[in-house]
Structure 1
Amino acid sequence: MTDVKGNCVPARDARTGAARAARPRTAGGAAAAGSRDRVRPGRPGPSGGEGLVIGTVPAGARFAGVLLLLAALAGLVSAFPTYLEVDGQELVLGGSVLGVLATLLVPLVGGAVGVLLVRGTVPKFGLAYASVAGALSLGNLLIELYRGRSSTDRPGVEVLAGEQVLTSDIHIGAGWVAGLVALALTVLAGCVAAAVWGRTVMDDRGTLDAVRGPLAGTTLLLGVGTVLSLALPAADVRDDLVLDPATGLEVVVTREGPQALLERPGLALLGGLLLAGALVLCSVTAPSLRPRLAAVGGLLAITVTVLAAGISGLRDAVVSDDLDWTLPGVGLVVAGLGFAVLTVLAWRLRRSS
């Protein structure tokens, strides 16, 4: 055998050289194969044109999805059994159409996100949803603990499951227990999601970067508006007009209505403060999450939480003849719809930075 210059080369040496030359190519191919195992491109579809890459999904991320599914199951169960028994009156969260919608909205969305997270389809979308939902659920968890366990320490007028009641005697029901379990599991899912966020590889080409600033500013305004709306009852009693016998004029007599979010003592006050702080903080941080679908997941968690609160206030005003829908109640629904619009925009916008 001859080389390029025409010199004779033994066949054995030629085979050895060929083998040595082949080794780097083989090693490079193995490295490329290993790289493909660790990071895979996104599936074609809504995200296919933005260069989405997804790494190996950690087991903790799938565990957070399992917790979201369990929380969704508990939330679905909470709608139909007795929620609380107040002064002998049994209250059910899903006693009306609006009550069913307000109670089941968060579990249904959380269950769907949990399925995606367990499958590992778009992990940071699910992790962002779980983290934000867990932060918002902590305040609601403390408020529910107050309603079922501590509200009798200082009896007052409350609106529970669409009924105006006096919290002088309360017995918990299966619906309250299921709802409390759902909130606790959501908080735990948020903690797990936050812990595995840094170990989950998912990124894109920054298709939302050009509008993150205006998006964050708008969500902050909506978050502050939501907190201001939560500070007052979404449904309140109407004042009475009484004829003053001394003057013959009609005077307005204010009746005691339901307590506002920050008027309750103890755990309820702490829960209200945590909920208000988490709403503002998540409204700022959710639009900054990467990739784009992570921002969508964070905004989706805020949307369903605010919408559920707004629909609950509307339910209270519609079900009870003694309650009127207030301006803060309207503000909650408007804020929830605003967050929904921003979530859809973040999902649809794919402008390159």
Structure 2
Amino acid sequence: MVGPVPLLARVVGALLALAGLVAAIAAFPTYLVVGGSAVAPVSGPVDALVALLAPAAAVVVGAGLLLGRVPRLGLAYAAVTGALAVGRLLIELYEGRGSTTRPAVEVLAGERVVTSSVDIGTGWVLGVVALSLAVLAGVLAMVAWGRTVMEDGGTLDPLRPALAGCAVVVGVAAALCLALPAADVPDRVVTDPTTGLETVVAGEGAQPLLERPGLALLGGLLLAVALLLCAVTAPSLRPRLGAVGGLLGVTVFLLAAALTGWRDGVRGPAVDWTLPGVGLLVLGLAAAALTVLAWRWRSGSAPVPR
């Protein structure tokens, strides 16, 4: 049963779709100019597919909410996306403005760079705008949630405890994987020409998310906490399609993060895809399975209200 869709919910849909559209455009121009080298996320068709995954999902879900279709699914997706965008926004602000305070080696779009000098590009500006729109959509979605009438017969209720338990495991494991880079510089094996002794030398690569200073550290903490909270609360959202929307938001975020790490790792020999990056992909697929299960689940134990 779906009641009248309030104007505020449609506004959330418009903001979410706009955020996705701006994020899609932001993937193509120059992102940052680091140490005189221009960095752009997209350099080929595979990069484009990876970069457009999350924006395309936001546009589709936002358009559906704008049209008033299954509104709580769209509101749940917007709320989860907005919560995760807060930490990402702070990290982006650090990358474009604060990373030169303490220059370090970073991996950006598959390139190993030193943040001795950073100039922002059009892609960074559009990315910050897209994340800001996502945060605003998430805040309004929480406000509009209680004003939007959408109920079902409680068909998902018997499955919710098991679904929540699995989602907690996914959320905790994903937060741990996010703490380490999904793509990093591999270690090198150096052979002493005199003795023939082989020594493993650790390559200086991307900083772990929770070892960065300032806004980046705060953003990393907020991102990890938001991911865990969203994974825990999504299965409890009502009706069933509300839970589907929340789980879908977690799924898209994990798959986008995992595929971005994979893209960075296969761009060149200087950077490898790491075990945490592989873990994010596995967890993203697990979250996708939970989303499909919640969407397809049917139970005759609860009567549908007339």
Q: Give the shorter-chain TM-score range.
A: over 0.9
- For 1:223-274, what per-residue CA distance to the aligned partner results, in whole angstroms no more than 9, with x for missing partners? 1111111111111212222223564311111221111111111000000000
Distance 2:291 2:275 in 1: 24
User: 1:325 maps to what in 2?
Assistant: 273
Contact 1:98 1:311 in 2 (8 A): no
User: 2:143 maps to what in 1?
Assistant: 195
Distance 1:62 1:243 in 2: 63
User: 2:73 maps to what in 1?
Assistant: 125
**Aligned-pair distance for 1:94?**
1.5
Structure 1 residues 1-353: aligned runs within 5 Å = 53-244=1-192, 247-351=195-299, 352-353=301-302
- For 1:156-178, what per-residue CA distance to the aligned partner results, in whole angstroms no more than 9, with x for missing partners? 11111111111111111111111
User: 1:37 maps to what in 2?
Assistant: none
In structure 1, give the amino acid aligned to 2:45.
V
Counterpart secondary structure, 2:210: coil
- Structure 1 outlier segments of 4+, above 2 Å: 96-99, 243-248
Contact 1:99 1:161 in 2 (8 A): no
Q: CA RMSD in A?
A: 1.1
Greater displacement, 173-182 / 100-109: 100-109
Distance 1:174 1:242 in 2: 41
**Aligned-pair distance for 1:332?**
0.6
Q: Which has the higher contact order (CA 8 A, sep 6+)?
A: 2
- For 1:297-332, what per-residue CA distance to the aligned partner results, in whole angstroms no more than 9, with x for missing partners? 001111111111000110111002111111111001
- For 1:188-224, what per-residue CA distance to the aligned partner results, in whole angstroms no more than 9, with x for missing partners? 0000010111111100000100100000110110111
Distance 1:80 1:289 in 2: 36
Identity of aligned residues (%): 60
TM-score normalized by structure 1? 0.83
**Aligned-pair distance for 1:98?**
3.7
Larger Rg over CA atoms: 1
TM-score normalized by structure 2? 0.96
Unaligned runs of 5+ in 2: none
Counterpart secondary structure, 1:189: helix
Contact 2:110 2:271 in 1 (8 A): no
